[in-house]
Structure 1
């Protein structure tokens, strides 16, 4: 079928420009007067037509001026009825053109083609959404991996209820007991009294550490008794939180 006027198929229903139809029908009345008069036959905006704003570049004097040009996208049914109202040869010609267009648009083949197009578009949209969800899942998995070491260290601490030496805690961070004790002293947690590290008074009654006595046999057979500080699991977690504030993490939490 030869195209007499440009038809837009971008929406669910094909449409034509009111200005294009006004020109094709060779209407002598100005468009701005003619279109409102056509609307008086009961056509409704949003159902039969929609406002369309275009820009037209025109020469005024020696300047190029952009002017807003009002137009309307009309349904084929509205265009067909307007053609009939004109009662002209052109009107009859274009009305028949729109009737043929409607028949072609509503053939089973065209209906099926549009259904397949909608299905393909829906599939593509779902594919995009799935990819986006996949990326979100990957990002969440990354975050989980980042968080897992923290949970793992906490689990290690919670699994044990025994006292631990600073040597064991230092080992969690890959440093020597001397380095760990010095760091805890710098943080104002403990100080040294007669070769034993003692918690400062504000931490003493928190259940963080206990003093235990151990005996060591000398080479000459005599027994040497000493007191040492051992940390509870609560104390171990306390140290973890304090060091974390300094940006210091146990080995299991490092990348």
Structure 2
């Protein structure tokens, strides 16, 4: 599973060839999907990097390298039960690679190098302690949500994000979710969860039937963020803020 994700200069990455192979898609179709995302995504250079690879015939072909966020954005468009299984495998592979990178340890080759590594380790510990302190609200939030089955409205999620230091209001959060493919953008499904977001378990759709005074019946749909979704979005915005 780890060959889905590789280490490059201390970063956990994957590429369009691996994604195409694992999801059973044509590579040119994956390249097309990435190009469409690039055309509609700001700061795409932080998510995808254009490069090439050499095939068996010696021909150079285009390829994209992507980080976890780039893969997540791309894979949101892949639907079906099998696609969901592969997404989960990729998430596990990213987690394992990132954990390995964090815990990587190199033996010093000299006394001076040992001193340097000791100083770096002390600095790292200090930074980690500071990070633990700054992330306490987030950790407490995640623990609380995991103990609860309650979903919340998107407006309530905006308030939770503000409590965790992310300055965003309800309207901007709706706009961000539509722009990034979590919510539908048009027609009767406007502001309802996209299929890929539902497959990730980020939302639930609450339907209610209302009897009008004239005897007619109408159905309303309310989008709510699941506990899993609340943790997902808080962590995503906090990673973006600290980047």
TM range (shorter): 0.3 to 0.5
Higher relative contact order (CA 8 A, sep 6+): 2
TM norm structure 1: 0.36
TM norm structure 2: 0.38
The structure with more radius of gyration: 1
User: Greater share of strand residues, 1 or 2?
Assistant: 1
